[in-house]
């Protein structure tokens, strides 16, 4: 489920639709949480899809650490990538605003954390654009992204959290423990398919 203070807009004919903040969303706000209405497609179910459904799933879903595809039921599936995104997936799976997002600003995300199966061209236009988004980006940039997320997560208890009630109980409890200092930080490396994580020799 995407944050309620968002709306779908056409970015341009080339990019298609994107998700925009309809009100200011401060750093530390949960912006996306997987909820029970999202469609979860197992590798077997994916293989059994016809070509049209498979293309739709490829375009609009992301792969979790188990290799399952998560296809959001709402506008979340239209969030575009930026190499300087304002939201990012955490090791718990939910997405958080890593900086203040102004009303009217497009919500953007780091696709490098979605277990990409192939490279994608990027035309985000940011000065730090990587030009290509690669399956190995998550391994290469995990340390930097974790640092950004750690900084943003400090704000979680201080801002309004309309999506917190949608967070699954285990993740919610684990997040609370991290925030009160009784549990270690959960790296974005936990989002990676097990094989990819092993290839990158990451353990935490």
Q: Which residues bind Zn ion (CB under 5 A)?
A: 83, 122, 124, 129
CB of 122 to Zn ion, least distance (A): 3
When the beta carbons of 109 and 146 are compared against Zn ion, the nearer one is: 109
The angle, 0 to 180 degrees and rounded to 10, between the axes of the packed helices 137-153 and 169-179 is 70
- Coil, strand, or helix at residue 83? coil
Percent helix, strand and coil across the chain, each rounded to 5?
35, 20, 45
Residue with the two structure tokens 């706000």 = 29
- Coil, strand, or helix at residue 82? coil
Residues 81, 62: Cα–Cα separation, whole Å: 12
Pairing of strands 30-32, 87-89: unpaired
When the beta carbons of 122 and 142 are compared against Zn ion, the nearer one is: 122
CB of 126 to Zn ion, least distance (A): 6
CB of 124 to Zn ion, least distance (A): 3
When the beta carbons of 62 and 111 are compared against Zn ion, the nearer one is: 111
When the beta carbons of 65 and 124 are compared against Zn ion, the nearer one is: 124
CB of 17 to Zn ion, least distance (A): 18
């Amino acid at each position: 489920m995407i944050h309620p203070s968002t709306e779908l807009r056409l970015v341009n004919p080339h990019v298609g639709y994107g998700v925009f903040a309809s009100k200011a969303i401060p750093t530390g706000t949960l912006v996306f949480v997987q909820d029970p209405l999202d469609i979860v497609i197992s590798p077997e179910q994916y293989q059994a899809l016809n070509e049209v459904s498979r293309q739709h799933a490829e375009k609009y879903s992301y792969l979790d650490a188990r290799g399952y595809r998560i296809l959001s039921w709402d506008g979340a599936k239209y969030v575009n990538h930026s190499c300087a995104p304002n939201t990012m997936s955490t090791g718990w799976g939910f997405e958080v605003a890593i900086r203040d997002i102004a009303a009217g600003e497009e919500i953007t995300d780091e696709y490098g954390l979605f277990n990409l199966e192939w490279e994608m061209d990027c035309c985000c236009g940011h000065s730090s654009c990587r030009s290509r988004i690669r399956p190995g980006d998550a391994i290469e940039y995990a340390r930097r992204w974790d640092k950004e997320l750690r900084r943003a997560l400090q704000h979680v208890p201080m801002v309004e959290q309309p999506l917190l009630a949608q967070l699954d109980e285990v993740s919610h409890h684990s997040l609370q423990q991290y925030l009160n200092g009784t549990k270690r930080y959960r790296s974005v490396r936990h989002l990676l398919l097990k094989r990819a994580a092993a290839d990158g020799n990451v353990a935490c």
